[in-house]
Chain A
Amino acid sequence: MQSLTCVLIVDDNETDRYVLRRRLRRRWPTVSVLEATDGQAAIELLEMPGRTLPDVIFLDINMPRMDGHAFLKTYFGEDDRKIPVVMMLTSSEDEHDRQQALRFSSVRVYAAKPVEQSFIDDLPNRLA
């Protein structure tokens, strides 16, 4: 995967979504960015009929209604879905969150906020 066509950002913080959106568009100006404010909204969005699935999901952990762990369990728990997930950690030392996310094979990469441009630029290699 060298280029991203469509991504989904799941984060209740509008500022964090803005920063990530800007980083993505600096690297891939034509990328389609879908946004959801929590896990429940993300599932509703992904399961809309005719919806093109994103190439990668950027997933925050701490969200109201349905947090990142609950989203992973609900969306990836039973079906063999293969969308790679980038887990967004508020603190890079949050071992508790890392360990919980490790149970899901879709979680491929961890990124500490704020996400740097170099991380986004190198994302295809990280996901390969």
Chain B
Amino acid sequence: MNPTFLSRYRHVVTGPPRVPGRHGLTWRYVLALTIIGTVLLGQQGLSILKAGQHKSDGALINESGSQRMLSQRIAMLSNDLAELSDDGLRTERAALLRRSSVRMQVNHARLSADWHSRARDGQPDFAALLDEGGIAPRIERFLILAHEVLADIERPMADLPGARAAAAGLSDMARGDFLQGLEEVVELYERKNRESIARLQQAGTLSILFGLLLLAIIGLVIFRPMVDLVISTIESLKQSRDEQFELGRRLSHDLRAPIASSLGLVAVIAEALNEGHAGEAKNASARLQASLLRLDHLLDRLMGVARLHRVTPKPRPVDLAELVAETLEVKGLSAGTAVVGVLDQPVLTDRGLCREILLTLLDNAVAYRKGESARIHVSMRRTASAVHLSVQDRGIGIPESCQGQVFGMFQRFHPDRSEGAGLGLYLATLSARAIGGRLVYEPLPDGSRFTLILPPEAIAASATDLLGRTA
């Protein structure tokens, strides 16, 4: 048997490769998507906010700009009205003047509401517009003058001097600081618009940087481990598939070998009978029987391997000292085996699987002994986190070059001592894993020590605890 091939069967020994749970991958994926979605929504929200700010500021700038144009128009229309003698034209101009005044009034109502709001928000530039010397009272006086012009013109007996005086007042205002004030309102809105857009752009830039930082973190913390998990799982599955293929190839070979041997013996038996060599035929028949029994044993072991991959352990309180004593008695080794160590309490494990492991270790200690009788030493001890059951022998040991494959399949290190299938320690490892433990090999100067290490779960704090767990 080639240990090099079989040493690659570690996944067969340790069981199917661990596949990360769907739950673990799913929550990471959902978390990553949630973060990305939140960042995108935030970006979109900022864009909407920016567009809204543009629209709102645009309307205010339009209205404040419109006030400038309306002030000039109202002044011009007022002067026209005051000078016109034609009733038809006068009526037409009066209608135009009224529309312009109404529009300027409406604009002023919207704008002054905005100025009041901003003044309450602590913006002194807009508070100044509402002050005694600000543009707001001057717009109101302007509109009053415009109303006076209309009123004078529309009297039953038109008051033209009055209208002219009011029109002159309007013209003075439209040419002086009033117009400047209206322009300053436009500039003020434009400046505020630039400032708010700049703030939004800044927020947008920061959110993009933050989003990129989050993406980098997500990439490192979530996606990269996910990708690593997926890649390592794929690699493990590929390796497992390759190993399964190789195992299949090896198994077909290792099953054919005893059959080929048996066919050779059948031919020998036939020849011996034809040649009248009954003794040789009998000898070959005995060998044939032994060969077929070994094949049967191999198949039984292989079925044991398949069974162990599916076994469900039944943990119960087990008195290890009693189990050891009983197993030694069955193997006839009680007299020659030293047993040391006492466990004050039972351990929670599968008695049958523990017994199988112990039987294998004892069988090996006997098969690979030095001298006539095996010198075996069994010990038990408990640590804070495990229970150790050791079988130590003073036998022929395992060659150093082969010690890395001790628990592999079909490993036979002393074929001259035993014609077994080379599956005993492999099965023992499967059994140990099935009960949540592990089997450890230590080479000794004059023999070997194998230790079954049971997991912390096997340690019961008290009998009551055991009863509670196994109920």
Interface residues of A (CB under 8 A from B): 12-16, 18-19, 22, 26, 37-38, 61-65, 67, 69, 90-91, 94, 112-117
Contacts and interface: CB of A to CB of B under 8 A. Distances in A.
Contact of A65 (B254, B413, B419): B413
**Which 9 residue pairs spanning A and B have beta carbons closest together?**
A114-B264, A19-B264, A113-B260, A15-B261, A12-B415, A67-B2, A64-B412, A114-B263, A90-B257
Interface in B388-437: 399, 401-402, 411-416, 419, 422
A114 B263 CA distance: 7
Contact of B267 (A14, A38, A63, A114): A114
B411 to A, nearest CB: 7
A37 B416 contact: yes
A37 B415 contact: yes
A96 to B, nearest CB: 8
A65 B267 contact: no
Contacts of B280: 22
28 contacts: A13-B261, A15-B265, A15-B290, A16-B260, A18-B268, A19-B261, A19-B267, A19-B268, A37-B416, A62-B2, A62-B254, A62-B257, A63-B415, A64-B402, A65-B399, A65-B402, A65-B413, A67-B1, A69-B2, A91-B252, A91-B253, A91-B256, A94-B253, A114-B263, A114-B264, A114-B267, A115-B264, A116-B267
Most buried by B among A16, A26, A37, A115: A16
Given A90-B257, A91-B253, A117 B411 contact: no
Interface of B: 1-3, 252-254, 256-257, 260-265, 267-268, 271, 280, 287, 290-291, 399, 401-402, 411-416, 419, 422
A16 B261 contact: yes
Contacts of B411: 64
Contact of A64 (B257, B291, B413): B413
Given A15-B291, A19-B265, A65-B399, 10 more contacts: A15-B261, A15-B290, A19-B268, A22-B268, A38-B415, A62-B253, A69-B2, A90-B257, A113-B257, A114-B263
